[in-house]
Structure 1
């Protein structure tokens, strides 16, 4: 995967007031962890970071005071209403070392006729992979699958050097019979109608 270069600055002020000032300057407070070193507090340009984070597990080369440090996003905090970045935890990585990350899983193809439903049990697959070769996503085919069929973790094709960080028999995607869903909805409606009837027949309190 390609590296994204972003210039960062060492952060020396802390607390809510300092964080608000950083955000008003269109910067994002961030902390770099990893390799047993003390956490590094930095600020990162908000727009550039937002664009980089559009790629899952993006590899970022942070330029800090004339030095470069490779990092990947570990935790991202956003404003619940406006969606802007509030804080980011970054994991320091080195070329050649392996990291455990969750890689998004997407499906392609059409299910067998019958109106069955596709359920993504694992939206992302945990894998151990070389830090500079993290895949952006895994694509699996569901073409022609019928109700009861499932795709397990071991069925997902991994890139060379990557290994599963989850049980190989873990269900990633499964096909659920449409009639099962319909029956469950019908039972819910019948229960609601029964409750309404009982309420109508109940005598009014004096």
Structure 2
């Protein structure tokens, strides 16, 4: 992980939805820093710089926040994003210190092309590890280049950098390379599963009656339009 990006944070003194909206209108982000037994610290961060820092830092971005002239290392824990505008609405951080060990979930990136007629399934997209706060891996890369059917990559197979300890079960399945299933075989499996579950496709009398009523309504509407 690259050095923590330094960002000047303003102390937040106004709260409530109205104040939060005003902060966002100024292209800034409300945030809270938790941790180390201290009271939560409410701050305001510059929108664009913070967004780029999070983008470059990945899921566990570490920022060096200048709060009232004092630097605080802050590990990103929760990012709230507006579902429509796709902008950051709020951030939660955990205060950390240099050299401190933290527990994080690191994403898995699968690269390469497996052998023909195979299906590569990512069974677990993140892996729990312990690492120094200033040396958190951005991601773990798993190559499936040329992997044959039956290939399985477990947590213990991951290449962990020095200072990083695996916390997940060593036998945790990360990537599974299976035989690619045809559309016909998939349909047959679905039908078999539905049969075992007792799911029937017969149309009920109620569904027939509903369809007849809808047809009558459509016919009446067409007659009305033609008059």
CA RMSD of aligned residues (A): 2.4
Give yes or no for the alignment of 1:108 onto 2:107. Answer: no
* Runs ≥4 residues deviating over 6 A: none
Give yes or no for the alignment of 1:77 onto 2:116. Answer: no
Corresponding residue SS for 2:24: helix
Corresponding residue SS for 1:48: helix
Aligned to 1:64: 67
Tell me, in whole angstroms, the C-alpha distance in 2 between the residues paired with 1:103 and 1:176.
24
* Match runs of 1:2-81 below 5 Å: 2-54=3-55, 55-56=57-58, 57-81=60-84
* Match runs of 1:111-150 below 5 Å: 111-114=114-117, 116-150=118-152
Tell me, in whole angstroms, the C-alpha distance in 2 between the residues paired with 1:71 and 1:13.
22
> For the pair shown, which has the larger CA radius of gyration, 1 or 2?
2
Number of aligned positions between the proteins: 200
Tell me, in whole angstroms, the C-alpha distance in 1 between the residues paired with 2:123 and 2:19.
41
Tell me, in whole angstroms, the C-alpha distance in 1 between the residues paired with 2:82 and 2:191.
38
Aligned to 1:96: 99
Give yes or no for the alignment of 1:169 onto 2:196. Answer: no
Tell me, in whole angstroms, the C-alpha distance in 2 between the residues paired with 1:39 and 1:3.
21
Structure with the higher fraction of residues in helix conformation: 2
Gaps in structure 1 of 5+ consecutive residues: none
TM normalised by structure 2 equals 0.81
Seen in structure 2, the aligned counterparts of structure 1 residues 180 and 39 have a Cα distance that, compared at 3 Å, is farther
